[in-house]
Amino acid sequence: MPVRRITMIQFRNYQQNTFEFIPGMNILYGPNGSGKTTVLEAVHCLTVAKSFKTHSDKHLVQHETDFYQLEGEFSRDDTTDTVQLNYVPRQGKKLFINDAEQDKLSRVVGRYPVVTLTPEDSDITFGPPAVRRKYVNKIMSQASVEHMERLIQLQNVLKQRNAILQDAADANQQVDETLISVYDDQLIEAAAKIEQERQQFFGDFRQLFQEVYGKLNGLNRQVLIRFSPSVNYEDDTQFEAEFREALDRRRNQELAFRRTMVGPQSDTIDLYLDGNNLRDYGSQGEHKLVLIALKLAEGRYIVDAKGAAPIYLFDDLFAELDVERSQKILNAFDDRGQRLITSTDLSDVRQHGIDVSGQDIKIFDMAELRENGAAA
């Protein structure tokens, strides 16, 4: 569902400002520090209930003020939803959907799916497996509320189980087997379902990713996303037995590391280009293209899962990309998806193949908005 309007109050550099978007292509251009990323961040906060830049909401509150407020209007056909997010330091965040206060912030996740591309995302291809796990968790959570809830449940079980391991390690004792077996059972139950859903996810996503990459870079190079669960098992019926055995085998290691060593939190996800691990061998440009292919594949996955295109929030899309690649990326977007794209320079946008005088495009000149007092 496209975002039609947002109002930011005391949100980073915005005192009180409104932006209205069209359902298709929106380009925000302006110099460094003019507030482009902040607009995308506001949409992200309204759709995922958190920022993509910081874990701490207090950074989002405008200096010298004491709260922020965001409001968004999402609409398609004759349905309009309003989402409001209020934050007061030390009191936390409150979420309202159509004026009804929500009991959990996670209630908004997946209602208006977003696909982001931000400078922070480069970690997805450059960083350690934990970053890719988090990325996959985000895609799957937006696609399925049940999956998100299972991940939260897994976190809770792990927290309690790890506390037992830590206590035993502190006391230099063996683990109380009856106590930990309760958590083993809960862990196995949550893990079995999550692993099953991940296998399913990768079955679909691997293909989408390869297709999109082929569109961007021709078919002469092969990409692969490889999922390796921390427990090996032949089929679902064997999962529980294999998992229990792995837990037993690793017990001493768990005590040494003071945490649970097997389960979905230890699965690895690797990216390969022509059979070589991208992290070890990829060039900058290769990394960026793989990242964009992941993001566009994510969009297609959401279309399949939710029956509607996501909102694409692509920050500084054209940086480091040649004109030919940019054209292919623009062609590979699902046209039904709303796009909010930022760039420092309009001529750069034009050069990279966007018809800025076209009909189905809205251009935001951030410097001008700022001068006229319409922004910041």
Residue type, 303: V
> For residues 318 and 316, what is the distance between their CA atoms, to the nearest angstrom?
6
Asked if 142 touches Mg ion (CB under 5 A), the answer is no
Min dist CB 342 to Mg ion, Å, is 6
CB 119, min distance to ligand ATP, A: 8
Question: What does 226 bind: ligand ATP, Mg ion, none (CB cut-off 5 to 8 Å by kind)?
Answer: none
Cβ closest to Mg ion, residue 62 vs residue 342: 342
Query: Of ligand ATP, Mg ion, none, which one sits near residue 62, judging by CB under 5 to 8 A according to partner kind?
Result: ligand ATP
Q: How far is the CB of 8 from ligand ATP (least distance, A)?
A: 11
CB of 38 to Mg ion, least distance (A): 8
SS3 238: helix
Number of neighbouring beta carbons within 10 Å of residue 203: 10
Q: Which of 11, 213 has the CB closer to ligand ATP?
A: 11
From ligand ATP, Mg ion, none, which one binds at residue 34 (CB under 5 to 8 Å depending on kind)? ligand ATP
Q: Give the shortest CB-309-to-ligand ATP separation in angstroms.
A: 25
Q: Which does 38 bind (CB under 5 to 8 A by kind): Mg ion, ligand ATP, none?
A: ligand ATP
Nearer to ligand ATP, 61 or 208 (CB): 61
Choose between 12 and 132: whose C-beta lies nearer to ligand ATP: 12
CB 9 within 8 A of CB 345: no
13 binds, among ligand ATP, Mg ion, none (CB under 5 to 8 A by kind): ligand ATP
Nearer to Mg ion, 278 or 375 (CB): 375
- Name the segment binding Mg ion (CB under 5 A); options: 36-44, 181-189, 224-232, 255-263: 36-44
Rg, the chain, Cα only = 22
Q: How many CB atoms lie within 10 A of CB 64?
A: 6
CA 40 to CA 187: how far, in whole Å? 37
Q: What is the DSSP letter of 376?
A: -
Indicate whether 37 belongs to the interface with Mg ion (CB under 5 A): yes
* Cα–Cα distance for residue pair 41/159, rounded to 1 Å: 30
Dist. CA 34–CA 343, nearest whole Å: 11
CA 42 to the chain's CA centroid: 14
Residue among 258, 259, 201, 204 at smallest CA distance from 229: 201
Q: How far is the CB of 27 from ligand ATP (least distance, A)?
A: 13
Query: Is the separation of the CB atoms in 87 and 57 below 8 Å?
Result: yes
Distance CA 42, CA 16 (A): 13
Q: Rounded to the nearest whole angstrom, what is the least distance from the CB of residue 72 to ligand ATP in the complex?
A: 17
Nearer Cβ to ligand ATP, position 60 or 139?
Answer: 60
Select 158 or 291, whichever has its Cβ closest to ligand ATP. Answer: 291
Question: Which residues form the interface with ligand ATP (CB under 6 A)?
Answer: 12-13, 30, 32-38, 59, 61-63, 344
Q: How far apart are CA 318 and CA 325, in angstroms?
A: 9
Tell me, by CB under 5 A, how many residues bind Mg ion: 1
Using CB distances below 5 to 8 A depending on partner kind, what does residue 217 bind out of Mg ion, ligand ATP, none?
A: none
To ligand ATP, the closest distance from the beta carbon of 243 in angstroms equals 44
Label residues 334-367 b or e (16+ Cβ within 10 Å = b): eeebbbbbbbbeeebbeebbbeeeeeebeebbbe
Q: How far is CA 120 from CA 17, 41, 62, 126, in A?
A: 25, 12, 22, 11
Query: What does the binding site for Mg ion look like in residue numbers (CB under 5 A)?
Result: 37
